């Protein structure tokens, strides 16, 4: 991806990515208990959708400063991922299940996550060759679906007992 960033030096993009990743993780740790898991998750997905759009515009290389859009899109995507969709599903999965089934449930969630990453790793090169500059559009569509799922089915778990969380989930 850094080879598509045009006039932005590779070292700058790599350093910026690392700094953005680290800073967003620290911010997520500070906000998770005060802001709540669900709002961070929602803002994370919304931000990633917008970042996918910015990145797509940058990759289209229609403007003299498209490289800034590309790098900015990647950095904002990383930022929004790290404040919500990166860490929160792991936390919520552990909070939603009773102790007797927690290990099995989180193991299944981990397996599904890694299976999804494996599938994306396998199909991404073909998708990139076919879709070229529009490679992030399918992911934006999946993020829109994830937003709908989150709004409809994911409860706030912050400060709630397991019984309260399960009652809320059963009422949906």
Write out the two tokens for 113.
Answer: 């996550």
pLDDT of 69: 87
pLDDT tens digits, residue range 24-66?
Answer: 989 998 998 899 999 999 999 999 999 999 999 999 988 888 8
Task: Check: CB of residue 108 under 8 Å from CB of residue 97.
Answer: no
Q: What is the CATH number of the domain that holds 136?
A: 1.20.1250.20
**Alpha carbon 23 to chain centroid, angstroms:** 15
Q: What number is the average pLDDT over the span 113-140? A: 96
Tally of domains within the chain: 1
* Residue that wins the pLDDT comparison between 63 and 146: 146
**Alpha-carbon gap, residue 165 to 95, rounded angstroms:** 8
Which domain, by its residues, includes 8? 2-170
Write out the two tokens for 169.
Answer: 């989930």
């Amino acid at each position: 991806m850094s080879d598509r960033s045009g006039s932005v030096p590779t070292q700058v993009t790599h350093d910026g990515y690392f700094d953005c990743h680290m800073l967003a993780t620290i911010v997520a740790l500070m906000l998770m208990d005060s802001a709540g898991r669900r709002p961070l998750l929602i803002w994370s997905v919304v931000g990633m959708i917008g970042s996918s759009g910015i990145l797509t515009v940058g990759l289209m290389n229609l403007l003299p400063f498209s490289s800034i859009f590309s790098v900015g899109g990647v950095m904002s995507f990383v930022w929004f991922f790290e404040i919500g969709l990166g860490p929160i599903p792991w936390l919520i999965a552990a909070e939603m299940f009773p102790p007797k089934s927690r290990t099995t449930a989180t193991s299944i969630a981990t397996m599904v996550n890694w299976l999804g990453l494996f599938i994306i790793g396998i199909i991404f090169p073909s998708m990139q060759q076919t879709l070229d500059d529009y490679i992030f559009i399918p992911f934006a569509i999946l993020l829109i679906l994830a937003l709908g799922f989150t709004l409809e089915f994911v409860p706030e778990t912050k400060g709630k007992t397991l019984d309260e969380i399960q009652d809320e989930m059963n009422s949906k």
